[in-house]
């Protein structure tokens, strides 16, 4: 090889080595955590170990693993917290939240919240932090709330807390009537139900636009409805445009059967495939501020989205039928209704509290669940 060729080879190898190097990345400066001055939680520490960035082609993949340690600086016990996560530079319209319900954090106690994010953005980045984390709300014992509530976390956390109270009451009654063995049976049943629930992948786009070309003729499919005993609102009619494994723009008519005005209702949405297997696809919520339903009046709940269902890494799940049920209702005075436990069917998701207690049983046994129930 001539000297000239050697130089060129060396220069080429050098250039390749430079292009493969990781770019410098400081996770601490990439994250901004903002808590209001009168926040009932204080940030004790932030651990971003295991975070990193890797260039890929013309883009950068950033893995941010944040372990926050927060302290309850209020005089009330915390039952839930919701943090708002935004990355404006990455997705202009996208935002995310991380909520931890079913907490039992006494004043002065510390508790962890973990946020794990992966961002894909162009190599050239703007100045300033990449991710902003702020407080959306804190729910206290007695359903008191603090926070800007931009994501309506007050309602979500109130629903989770009411479901938690309902389920703890049920498990306590089982413990009282059948002892630890009865509670163990309940936990085993719950774990079995959770394992048997079909796992479906969902792809969603806004505006009712198709998320794929399904190639099947579109039809208008009607909802069947499950009666929920004691529900202040009844779903009376509903439909969605269905084509193959895609459903668009579900619309549901509801009637307020209670004596109080209703400002929000959410309809659970069960989809049945053509083999008759049912899975919980999600829910159809009323648009914020759109619904104020006086007693005896009907209203319409509409979701302007397109959903596509698949399983086993992309195998389409053709929609054979749809069932709706009233999953929760918020009255104009802010109070919330949730279904009774006996009205829930196996296809419906367990409450976060039931999920937590069943997992506690799985990892630590029935004694830990008994001890946990005694704390409430």
Q: Considering only residues 66-85, where is the footprint of other proteins by CB under 8 A? A: 85
102 is a site residue for other proteins (CB under 8 A): yes
**Interactions with other proteins, residue window 104-143 (CB under 8 A):** 112, 114-124
144 is a site residue for other proteins (CB under 8 A): no
**Interactions with other proteins, residue window 200-229 (CB under 8 A):** 200-207, 209, 211
323 is a site residue for other proteins (CB under 8 A): no
**Interactions with other proteins, residue window 15-54 (CB under 8 A):** 15-16, 19
199 is a site residue for other proteins (CB under 8 A): yes
Query: HEC states along the chain?
Result: CCHHHHHHHHHHHHHHHHHHCCCCCCHHHHEEEECCCCCCEEEEEEECCCCEEEEECCEEEEEEEEEEEEEECCCCCEEEEEEEEECCCCCCCCEEEEEECCCCECCCCEEEEEEEEEEEEECCCCCCCCEEEEEEEEEEHHHCEECCCCCCHHHHHHHHHHHHHHHHHHHHHHHHHHHHHHHHHHHHHHHHHHHHCCCCEEEEEECCCCCCCCCCCCEEEEEEECCCCCCCEEEEEEEEEEECCEEEEEEEEEEECCCCCEEEEEEEEEEEECCCCEEEEEEEECCCCCCCECCCCEEEEECCEEEEEEECCCEECCEEEEEEEEEEEEECCCCEECCCHHHCCCCCCCCHHHHHHHHHHHHHCHHHHHHHHHCC
11 is a site residue for other proteins (CB under 8 A): yes
Q: Minimal distance in Å, beta carbon 16 to other proteins?
A: 7
90 is a site residue for other proteins (CB under 8 A): yes
96 is a site residue for other proteins (CB under 8 A): yes
* Selected binder of other proteins within 132, 134, 149, 194 (CB under 8 A): 194
275 is a site residue for other proteins (CB under 8 A): no
* Selected binder of other proteins within 68, 78, 151, 226 (CB under 8 A): 151
188 is a site residue for other proteins (CB under 8 A): no
């Amino acid at each position: 090889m001539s000297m000239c060729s050697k130089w060129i080879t060396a220069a080429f190898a050098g250039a390749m080595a430079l292009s493969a190097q990781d770019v410098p990345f400081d996770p601490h400066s990439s994250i901004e955590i903002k808590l209001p001055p009168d926040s009932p939680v204080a940030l004790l520490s932030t651990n971003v170990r295991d975070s990193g960035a890797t260039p890929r082609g013309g883009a950068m993949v950033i893995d941010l693993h944040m372990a926050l340690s927060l302290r309850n600086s209020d005089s009330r016990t915390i039952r839930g917290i919701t943090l708002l996560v935004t990355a404006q530079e990455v997705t202009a319209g996208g935002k995310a939240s991380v909520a931890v319900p079913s907490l039992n954090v006494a004043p002065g106690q510390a508790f962890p919240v973990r946020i794990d994010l992966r961002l894909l953005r162009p190599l050239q980045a703007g100045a300033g932090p990449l991710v902003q984390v702020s407080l959306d709300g804190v729910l206290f014992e007695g359903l008191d709330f603090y926070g800007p509530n931009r994501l309506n976390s007050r309602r979500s956390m109130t629903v989770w807390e009411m479901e938690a109270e309902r389920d703890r009451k049920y498990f306590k009654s089982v413990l009282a009537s059948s002892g630890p063995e009865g509670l163990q049976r309940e936990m085993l049943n719950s774990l079995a139900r959770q394992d048997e629930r079909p796992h479906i992948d969902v792809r969603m786009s806004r505006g009712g636009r198709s998320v794929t070309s399904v190639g099947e003729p579109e039809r208008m499919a009607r909802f069947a409805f499950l009666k929920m005993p004691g529900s202040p609102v009844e779903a009376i009619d509903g439909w969605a445009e269905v084509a193959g494994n895609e459903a668009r723009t579900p619309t549901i008519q509801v009637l307020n059967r209670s004596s109080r005005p209703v400002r929000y209702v959410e309809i659970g949405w069960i989809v049945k495939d053509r083999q008759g297997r049912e899975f919980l696809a999600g829910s159809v919520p009323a648009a914020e501020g759109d619904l104020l339903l006086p007693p005896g009046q009907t209203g319409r709940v509409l979701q302007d989205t397109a959903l596509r269902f698949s399983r086993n890494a992309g195998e389409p799940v053709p929609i054979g039928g749809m069932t709706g049920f009233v999953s929760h209702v918020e009255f104009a005075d802010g109070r919330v209704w949730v279904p009774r436990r006996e009205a829930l069917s196996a296809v419906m998701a367990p409450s976060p509290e039931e999920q937590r207690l069943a997992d506690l049983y799985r990892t630590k046994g029935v004694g830990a669940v008994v001890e946990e129930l005694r704390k409430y």
